[in-house]
Structure 1
Amino acid sequence: MKIYFHLNIEGFSNAYLILNSAEKSALIIDPGKITTKMIEQIEQNKYKLDAVLITHNHASHTRGLSTLTKIYAPRIYAADYEVAKNDTVVLKGDGMIKAAGLNVSYMSVPGHTADSMVYKIGLCLFTGDVLLAGQAGNTNSSYAKKTLITNIHAKILSQHENTVIMPGHGPPTTIGAEKQFNLDFS
């Protein structure tokens, strides 16, 4: 498995292209913007775009879906039906799916938004805006913040310390670094 990071400069959001060489299959997490580079990485290596995983329904994480669906026919996974209407495979709660030949765990972590999902592939957690390096995600109330912090403790910080966090904005981090340095958890 190879993970390629792509920055959407318009929303300063991160998109991730994940390639499974053994299956010649790919998936994209949070396509805020689809770039020529992303398409080239898929096409030049003759990969099939199997799936798109959406961490939450904000435009800076979903805007590229319209481009992708004009070129490919991936399965679109999200917790919000509105992401792609009838083309959305709606995820609820926690579970596991197979995408691009990879086992993908998903977990509902509401707080930043009601539809926030975190995906785990191998030792990588794709957290969207739930958890960024050094801070928990933004919320619109103190109740939502408490809910988010509780969910992060239960579902994310319980993971192995070496687990890499690939956030929706900013640099990657690890569970160990967040436990040690994140002021939201002290």
Structure 2
Amino acid sequence: MTEITFVTADITEVDVDAVVNAANSTLLGGGGVDGAIHRKGGPEILAACKELRATDYPDGLPAGQAVATTAGRLPARWVIHTVGPTWAKTIDKSDVLASCYRESPRVADELGARTVAFPAISTGVYRWPMDDAARIAVGTVEATWTRVQEVRFVLFNQDAYQTFRAAHS
């Protein structure tokens, strides 16, 4: 059974096997969590992402999918990049957001990762409401079979922490 934990911290500083990056489809860095991971992880992550773009993902990584690279200078061994959907009032993309939380542990299993840190995917510039994102994230992780021993939700502030913690059954 996977243990689910919650912390308020900087995801670039957590000591886990794999850190999940809330990436954009280009895989070439950006703002928020994505930019922080690329900056702190160093050029090794960008080089690995450029290689993925040149080979497996010439059109970018589709939303809901996940792929791993080195973690460069981060304390983790790997970064699992996943692209969350942009929230839209008129289109339900909940299944795409849930897919991020299913596909990332699947990739972690392929790597042999036992501890994985997740950010609150899609809640920044992609505007997903925090309470709904927490419900989808925690519910999906609870329902997904994985060999990962601990999934740690690493939240950026106390409000996000409390919202995600409240979503845990």
Q: Which has the higher contact order (CA 8 A, sep 6+)?
A: 2
Bigger radius of gyration, 1 or 2? 1
Normalized per residue, the structure richer in strand is 1
Normalized per residue, the structure richer in helix is 2
TM-score by length of 1: 0.36
